[in-house]
Amino acid sequence: MRLRTKILSGFLILILMLFAAGSWSIYEMTQMGSSVQRLLDENYKSINAARMMMEAIERQDSAVLLIISGNDKQGKPILASGDELFLKGLDTAKTNITLDGEQACVETIEESYGSFKNFWTEFIINANNNKDLKWYYQTLHQAFLDTKLSVNKLMTLNDQAMYRTASKLQKRSYRVIMPGIVAIVSSVIFTLIFSYFINYYMVAPIIKITNGVKDFITTRNYMDISVETNDELSHLASAVKELCAISGAVQKT
């Protein structure tokens, strides 16, 4: 094998190792990024829907209190807008069921909100009602708390899923780092091995040829240099031996 081929092959192997490690890292990073982003988007959508529903029922609860206190004109529009906002959040939650137990949470929310809505709808329809704060705390407020609790369960479920996703992200980060570590360790080992072969097949023969030439110059003895490598260095050693032989013959004549 020619000397140039030996050196080039060593660098090519090192480049291939680094390329393989880099490709592995890029693949792991891409997979991790896409999966984590998808999970976070799904969880965030459900959490945002839960917050929307929470805001809506709190508005409605305040609107009922306004109506009880005699502010019908202010309370009824708030009830209507709150109902619209809640149903919008509920529809989002229904179309984004991705976790175990999330379907049951959404069904509970729908059921509890139905009871809550029936109370305040009946309250508005009955214009001659004598509903007061006592009625509110005995009936409507409990329905409000039940609905709020069910919405909180949905939010908690997705919060926990986001935490698990973050934990999974931390674990997968080690898998992304691992190719770099493997590449560094492999490169160091290969560099040491490559340096050994460079020293054995290049540096040592050059030193051997140099010392032989110096010895010939000093003693004029026949230079017997043998280089084991079958490359340019062996050809150089043969050429130097021939040159020294010719020079010695010329000196004798």
First to last CA, the chain: 40
3-state DSSP of the chain: CCHHHHHHHHHHHHHHHHHHHHHHHHHHHHHHHHHHHHHHHHHHHHHHHHHHHHHHHHHHHHHHHHHHCCCHHHHHHHHHHHHHHHHHHHHHHHCCCCCCCHHHHHHHHHHHHHHHHHHHHHHHHCCCCCCCHHHHHHHHHHHHHHHHHHHHHHHHHHHHHHHHHHHHHHHHHHHHHHHHHHHHHHHHHHHHHHHHHHHHHHHHHHHHHHHHHHHHHHHCCCCCCCCCCCCHHHHHHHHHHHHHHHHHHHHHC
CATH number at residue 19: 1.20.120
88 to each of 10, 41, 58, 219, how far by Cα in Å?
Answer: 64, 18, 15, 102
For residue range 161-198, list pLDDT tens digits in order.
877 777 777 666 666 677 777 777 877 787 788 778 77
Among 186, 210, 231, the domain boundary falls at: 186
User: Could you tell me if 56 and 134 lie in one domain?
Assistant: yes
Contact 46, 158 (CB under 8 A): yes
User: Could you tell me if 118 and 212 lie in one domain?
Assistant: no
Q: Is the pLDDT of residue 253 over 90?
A: no
For residue range 88-114, list pLDDT tens digits in order.
999 999 988 888 888 999 999 999 999
What pLDDT, on a 0 to 100 scale, did the predictor assign at position 105? Answer: 92
For residue range 203-213, list pLDDT tens digits in order.
777 787 787 77
Q: Is the pLDDT of residue 39 over 90?
A: no
Q: Is the pLDDT of residue 78 over 60?
A: yes
Average confidence score pLDDT of the chain: 79
Q: Which domain holds residue 210?
A: 196-252
Nearest to 252 by CA among 223, 224, 225, 222: 222
User: Could you tell me if 241 and 117 lie in one domain?
Assistant: no
What pLDDT, on a 0 to 100 scale, did the predictor assign at position 54? Answer: 94
User: Could you tell me if 52 and 121 lie in one domain?
Assistant: yes
Residue 240, domain member (yes or no): yes
Q: What's the predicted TM-score (pTM) here?
A: 0.58
Residue 191, domain member (yes or no): no
Query: Computed over its alpha carbons, how large is the radius of gyration of the chain?
Result: 42
pLDDT cut 70: percent of the chain above it? 76
User: Could you tell me if 202 and 171 lie in one domain?
Assistant: no
Overall number of domains in the chain: 2
Residue predicted with more confidence, 18 or 65 = 65
